[in-house]
Structure 1
Amino acid sequence: MSLPKQRPAADHSAAVAVPASVEAFLNDAQHVAAFTTLRPDGTPHVAPVRFTWEARSGLARVMTVAASRKARNLLAAPGSRVALCQVDGFSWVTLEGSGTVVRDPERVELGARLYARRYWSAPPNPPDRVVIEIAVDRVLTLNT
């Protein structure tokens, strides 16, 4: 089932509406997701990640470091399209939107707090930690 909602990437005031079952699936602490970004040559880079989803703001967040391939891909093309796909058996949810690498200490700390709440432990805190914020504008689901 596709639930597209179009909005400008920089506008976080409107949340993407998802059914309660999808919301529950996205907030299950047992899941990780495949995170897809595009390398500068256009080929996909897919990495398993832990992430958080905040329906109120329509933002998904991934904690990482600026030197990671996923962050470097987005730094090379700010605001480019990304996808997070969380799978459990034959059920899945994909969140699509524009990704931005954020270094602002307050937003990185918020990302870390949300991560700790979901995964019951703080994320790693290496030097040059950043948060990738995904302004979700499309949600695709199956069996959720």
Structure 2
Amino acid sequence: HLEREKELTKFRDLIAAERRQLPWFKLRKDYVFESEAGPKRLGDLFAGKSQLIVYHFMMTPGCDHRCHGCSFLADHIDGANQHLKHHDVSLVVVARAPLAEILPYKQRMGWKFDWVSSYASDFNFDLQV
């Protein structure tokens, strides 16, 4: 297994390098998200930092299912987020579900990170997530 795991690691590194070489594109729409503090534009999500990580949480409008993979990852965001802030990075979680569906789950899970809804925008569709 060790040999195959090393192969997998090298392959994953290759894919990551290819992803970094993908062309950049300029976002031309003025996306607005619903947040606990009210409407926020994409630029607002940077929260004064020069870099922004957007995690797409697979939670669609009206769906009772909560993605186990997304939830597992979200369980680890708050701890890492304090370090990201010290490196000029903001992190926000985005879901297509309305905020009224997101917040009860966020509260139940005890998460503190910023989570916004893209329900009223084309953000997720335009970025193909």
Shorter chain as denominator, the TM-score bin is: under 0.3
Q: Which has the higher contact order (CA 8 A, sep 6+)?
A: 1
TM-score, with normalisation over the residues of structure 1?
0.25
* TM-score normalised by length of structure 2: 0.26
Higher strand share: 1
